[in-house]
Amino acid sequence: MRRSLGAVALLAGVAFAIAGCSSSASAGPASSATKAAKGTTASIPHGSGDVNVLYAGSLVSLMENQVSPAFHDATGYTFKGYGAGSQALAADIKGKVKQADVFISASPTVNAGLEGSSNGDWVSWYATFANSPLVIGYNPNSSFVKQLKSKPWYDVVTESGFKLGSTDPQTDPKGALAAHALKDQGTKQGDSALTALATSNPNIQTEESMVGQLQAGQLDAGFFYASEAKAANIPTVPLKGESLKAVYTITVVNNAPDAAGAAAFVAYLLGKGGQGILKKNAYDLTTPPEVSGSGVPKTLKNVLGR
C-alpha cells in the first residue's frame, strides 16, 4: 500500500517538532486511583458530568488507565476520551464529526488548522506541556533483536523479512516523523530502500493496533514515542542519527459543551497530580507550560501563569 507525504499542514507540524496518534473510547473512570496520583486538589474545580477529551493516540494507555481514574477521584468529573492521530482529530473537530471539550495534540502546529475564522475559530490558545522522543520499539522475540541491539536501526529495518510498523503520515504526527527519519537516513546513508519505506511502508497501522501487532509477533519493530513504549512495556533502541519527538499541547475548545469541566481537566493535568503521572511515565515536562495565542480562561490563569 503506498502512502503519500503530501499533507502540507502535518508536515509543517513535523518541521516544528524537528526544530525542538488509531482510536479508543473510554469506558469511564476505574474504581480507584492511587492517592499519590491525586496531588493537591484544593485549587482544582470540582463538579460532575462528562468531560469529552480528544487526545493524540499515543496517549491512550496514559489517559485511559491512569489520568481518567485520578481525574475523577480529584474532581468528581468523568473523563470521556477518544484517541486518534492528531491531524485526524483536528479534522473531526473542524468537520463537527466529534464534539470536544478538550483537545490534546502531539504536534503544536496541528492547532493552526483550528485557529481563525476560516477554520471555525475552534482554538484561540494552547499550552505546550510535555514532549517525548521518537524511538524504535521492538518485539523481544523477534529474530532481529541481536541486530537491533548491535547495529544502527537504519541498517536493520531494510533487511529481508523485517516488518517495521508505522502510523499513517497523513493523519498522525508520529507517522510523519517516522517517514522523515526514514527519508533522512535514506539520503544520508545512500540507501534507496530506506527512502522507499518512507513513502510505501506496507505495515501502516493505527496507533492502538500497532502495540498489539508488535506483541503478537506480526511486527518485528515499530516507531513509538519513548513514553508510550514505557507504558506498554515495549523494549526500545534509540533512533540513532535523528532527534525527533512528540510535542504535546492542550487547549479548551472554543464553545466547548462543558467549558467548566474542560478547565477542570486542564487544571488537573497541568497541576501537581497530572504532572506527577506524566513524570512517572517518562514524559519530559515543559515547566511552566508554554502558552501560545490568547483567550486563556480566567480559571486557568494560575496554572498557566497568564
pLDDT digits (tens, 9 = 90+) for 70-115: 999 999 999 999 999 899 999 999 999 999 999 999 999 999 999 9
Is residue 179 scored above 90 in pLDDT?
A: yes
- Using only C-alpha atoms, the chain has a radius of gyration, in whole angstroms, of 19
Q: Which residue would you say has higher pLDDT here, 22 or 78? A: 78
H or E stretch covering 67 = none
Poorest-confidence range of 32-46, 144-158, 186-200?
32-46
Is residue 8 scored above 80 in pLDDT?
A: no
Average pLDDT, the chain: 87
d(CA 105, CA 224): 16
> What's the pLDDT at 22?
41
Angle at 181 between CA 176 and CA 184, to 5 degrees: 120
List the helix and strand counts (H, then E) for the chain.
14, 9
- Is residue 270 within 8 A of residue 303, CB to CB? The reply is yes
- φ and ψ at 163, to 5 degrees? -110, 110
> What's the pLDDT at 225?
95
- φ and ψ at 78, to 5 degrees? -110, 125
Report yes or no on whether pTM surpasses 0.85: no
> What's the pLDDT at 232?
84
- Residue type (1 letter), 212: G
What are the extents of the domains in the chain?
8-132+247-304, 133-238
Residue closest to 265 by CA, chosen among 57, 61, 55:
55
Give CATH for domain 8-132+247-304: 3.40.190.10
- Is residue 80 within 8 A of residue 71, CB to CB? The reply is no
Distances (CA, A) of 91 to 85, 99, 110, 122, 172: 10, 12, 10, 11, 12
Tell me 204's DSSP state: B
Superfamily of domain 133-238 in CATH is Periplasmic binding protein-like II (3.40.190.10)
Is residue 304 scored above 80 in pLDDT?
A: yes
d(CA 46, CA 32): 17
Cell of 76: 468528581
Instruction: Kindly give the pairing relationship between strand 102-105 and strand 50-56.
Output: parallel
Poorest-confidence range of 22-36, 98-112, 158-172, 255-269?
22-36
Is residue 4 scored above 90 in pLDDT?
A: no
> What's the pLDDT at 209?
82
Cell of 28: 469511564
Q: DSSP per residue over 97-132, as a string?
A: SS--SEEEESSGGGGGGG-SGGGTS--SEEEEEEEE
- Residue type (1 letter), 264: A
User: How many percent of the chain have pLDDT more than 90?
Assistant: 73
> pLDDT tens digit string along 208-238?
788 889 999 999 999 999 998 988 889 999 9
Q: Which residues, other chains included, contact 150 with Cβ-Cβ below 8 Å and sequence gap of 6+? A: none
- Same fold for the domain at 8-132+247-304 and the one at 133-238? yes
